[in-house]
Structure formats: structure tokens, C-alpha cells
């Protein structure tokens, strides 16, 4: 199974450098920056209160509404990794 990887730099997550990993229905975040083996795109995500603005090389520009108030300003790299399980200290989201 491939893992979807979102490596992010910026303010709003628990750490300045972090990586979100999606495996099927599970997702978790680790407090380090892991560049995907197969890069699919780059994005800027700005989350102001309940509004999330994303400018992505894959999907263009989008605006979504969330049910939480947050402030985030992030640059990210998205892609895939093979399922080569390593010992990551992760937090389930």
C-alpha cells in the first residue's frame, strides 16, 4: 500500500517542520520533515479561522470551510512513499 505524504514547513502545526502521512483510512503526523520519494506537487495552505485557502500545483486554487477555528500558514510538498514501515514516533490524528 502506498502512503500519501504531506511534508510541511510553517506556522500552525505543533512543530515548524512536520509530515502528515495517510495510509488508507488512517492518518498521523510526525514532528520532522520527510520528503516524499515520488513528489506529486507543491502547495501553500493558509487557514484563517474556519476558511482554508490552498494554492496547489496539482489542483490549482481552492477554498474550503472547516468546523474548527485555526491560524496556519504552510508550504508543503505532496507525494507518495512505498509501504516500507520504519519506526516513526507518530500521533494519530
Per-residue cell: 64: 474550503
Per-residue cell: 73: 500558514
Q: What's this model's pTM, rounded to 2 decimal places?
A: 0.80
User: With contact defined as beta carbons under 8 Å apart, do 58 and 85 qualify?
Assistant: no
State the average pLDDT for the chain: 89
Residue 59: what pLDDT?
92
Residue 85: what pLDDT?
53
Amino acid at each position: 500500500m502506498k502512503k500519501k505524504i504531506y511534508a510541511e514547513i510553517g506556522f500552525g502545526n505543533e512543530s515548524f517542520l512536520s509530515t502528515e502521512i495517510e495510509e488508507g483510512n488512517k492518518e498521523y503526523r510526525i514532528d520532522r520533515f520527510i520528503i516524499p520519494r515520488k513528489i506529486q506537487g507543491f502547495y501553500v495552505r493558509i487557514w484563517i479561522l474556519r476558511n482554508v485557502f490552498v494554492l496547489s500545483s496539482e489542483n490549482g486554487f481552492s477554498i474550503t470551510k472547516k468546523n474548527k477555528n485555526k491560524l496556519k500558514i504552510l508550504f508543503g510538498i505532496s507525494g507518495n512513499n512505498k509501504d516500507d514501515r520504519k519506526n516513526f514516533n507518530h500521533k494519530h490524528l
